[in-house]
Structure 1
Amino acid sequence: MCRVFNKRHKQLSKTQKELKKALKKNTSIKRSLSTEEQLLIEEIQSTTKILNLNNLTRTMAYLDFYLEHPEIHWSFLAHMVSRNAGWNMTDLKGEYLPRILTEKEIKSFFNFIERGNWLIFQDAFPQLLLYEKSIQTGINLFYLLPHLNVSVFMEPIWNQFLEYRDSYTLTVALIINEQSYIESRVIENNRFKEDVLNTFEFKLQDLLSMNHILFPSSNDTKTKLTGQTVRHFDSLDERILLGKRLYSILFSMHHLPPIEKWAKQTIHTGSRKDYWPHLFNDIAELAPGSELKPRLQNCKLTKGTPRIYSPALASVWENQQHEPASPGDWYKDWDVLHYMAKSEEKVNGDIEGDYCKTVERLEMVALSTKLIQFLDKD
């Protein structure tokens, strides 16, 4: 145990020194590339663009990469979180939210989720491909990260990973990097702040705890859910800490095997039917124009009632054209290294009961416009 601690302490000290050096690096100065290096950059960018077509393609790309390189824990974490982004996208066209939100609000919410999902992939996946190429060639290629517009924060992190093979440090660093990357481009973006983050409906979702990250897992009898609830999404600190908690749950010895099993067996469609077909269906069972009536009790349908409509993503959302990511490096202070420390917090991931209550609350809100008007006045 003492050896492990000393090794980790030595690694963190070295990483801290390298991160301090990275702050002084002039990111506007990039060395000239050889023809071979330029071709590699273009290949990585082309592959990333193809796989970043929509939530379905990027979500499965994360899983495929993890299955080839299980030491890159972040890729599986990204896969599972991206599944949740897809479910949130289809909720906007599902049974309940269209009864609560306007078409304009639905589109704004979708753009918010899609933009963040797209931005993280176009920043992170080139790093994964560069790692793969480094492994294949036996050459450290991370000096090429600036040519992929990746923060200077990540080069010393990847270099340290090649030396120490510390999956934990790399995962937390990628959590820090990606959440910091979207901070100015999504969270602080004036359009998203006005159309989404400051709206009553977003606050309503936070109030009713409708922001769950779910990790389904397969066992002998049913699909169980573990995960965490997202609170204060507009706080960078909270999102990073949430990422660490999710990582702790996902890669615990108890949870990882059955969650991996479920992910391998279940194609991501964006429909919540993927994990609970007893409750959700990707085909609307309620006839058009029919009155919505209460049907849920303890995550079970009352006898004879239709399942909740949760469409497949491809049937309700078209592929989006994205503007290029705005330039700039978020990394200004090496003090972010404090997030690397392992938390002593015990995270059990019990969420199924809360999630069931959430679905019931959502049904209640959809049924009662009076409740919405009351909350709006409040």
Structure 2
Amino acid sequence: MTHAITLPKVDGTIEAYRLIGTPVGRPDRPPRFNRIAYAAAHVVSDPLRDSDPWGSPAIDWERTMAFRHHLWGLGFKIAEAMDTSQRGMGLDWAGAQELIRRSLAEARHVPGADLACGAGTDHLPAADARSLDDVVRAYETQMAFVEAHGGRTIMMASRALARVARSADDYRTVYRRILSQAKDKVILHWLGSMFDPQLAGYWGSDDFDKALETVLSIIAENSDKVEGIKISLLDNTKEIALRRRLPPGVLCYTGDDFNYADLIEDGPDGYSHALLGIFDAVAPQASLALATLADGRQDEFRKVLAPTVPLSRKIFETPTQYYKAGVVFLAWLNGHQNHFTMPAGMQSARGILHYCDVFRLADQANVLDQPELALSRMESFVAVNGGR
């Protein structure tokens, strides 16, 4: 089979594109890393049962759980039921509860498997939130569910809190009340408005320096309950500014899908651990890179991981909140599911030219695990979507 395909280009022409990538092999056993590495994992739709994809999407639980095994086998921890799983964009709280319950149960049967679960306020529509007490009760409901099933909590950013808070002190109040109740240490979640426009002004200010002071004061006041903080602002200078000022023992988790390679590697400003949606899409490459970094082979780490960065920047391009579509597109091309269908029809959030660029960049980053399958599926996708 010739590894070539005809793809449309942004200027309206078409090109004959020939695959050049080399798939990355799987390790015999999960490798050990010297960074904590969470992959935020997607969910798989069941298109044959999906009669109401916007209101009540059907989830293919067998394939969804199989993908978690794929990540665990590559050495990753899983950040469960996060925005990569379409929380608030197709997966409601009822679906998230089932996802959390199933994943925690599944992990108990996998040696070394680990995960932390997103607890937020998304069952409370932001428009219905009237007070800080409403937000606190919503957080309590979700954190209690995670803990009741033996899970650890990632305290997700709250649209409802962004709506009702009037000052930085309101954020301090809510976080103090929730963290004081946590059984275990919690990972905080600083998600920028590029990922969710409804989070604009989070921590009480649109000014980064003011928001940073609020975050640091919350962590300092509750340091015995904070494992770390994930920061997703797509700005490495802001992440480093936070990282430098965290108290001892509190970890910085990069959520920067533009600059993760540099932020994870050792540098003059230290390093970040990782909690990334892009690890879902490039898991074999990220696993190999992290294993070589743990072996002290930084040049090899860069060689493996650096080519995935242009791919990630394409997947997470503006409007960034639609990055989930590119992540699931690659899961389909790589044979992890037999369709490209997403909860709420999110596959329609990007156009064919975007997906063609993702295909090219995935090949160039060695991300296409089964080239012939990916080529066949891409040919069908282009034909169905008017690319030729």
User: Which structure has the highest strand share of the two?
Assistant: 2
TM range (shorter): under 0.3
**TM-score for both structures, normalised by structure 2:** 0.24
Higher helix share: 1
User: Radius of gyration: which is bigger?
Assistant: 1
